[in-house]
Amino acid sequence: TNTETYLKSVALKHMPPNLQTVDMLKAVPE
């Protein structure tokens, strides 16, 4: 949650509407 919040605040919220999320579960390998 900390990391998602951070990514949103620094960059994702400034991106085009359809690109404002990253699927963290998929992105972070086990």
**1-30 footprint of other proteins as x/- string (CB under 8 A):** -xx--xx-xxxx-xxx--x--x---xxxx-
Judged by DSSP in three states, 3 sits in helix
Distance between CA atoms of 15 and 30, rounded to whole angstroms?
Answer: 27
Name the minimum Å distance from CB 23 to other proteins. Answer: 8
Place of tokens 């960059």: 11
Cβ neighbour number for residue 7 with a 10 Å cutoff: 15
Name the minimum Å distance from CB 18 to other proteins. Answer: 8
Q: Where along the sequence are the contacts to other proteins (CB under 8 A)?
A: 2-3, 6-7, 9-12, 14-16, 19, 22, 26-29
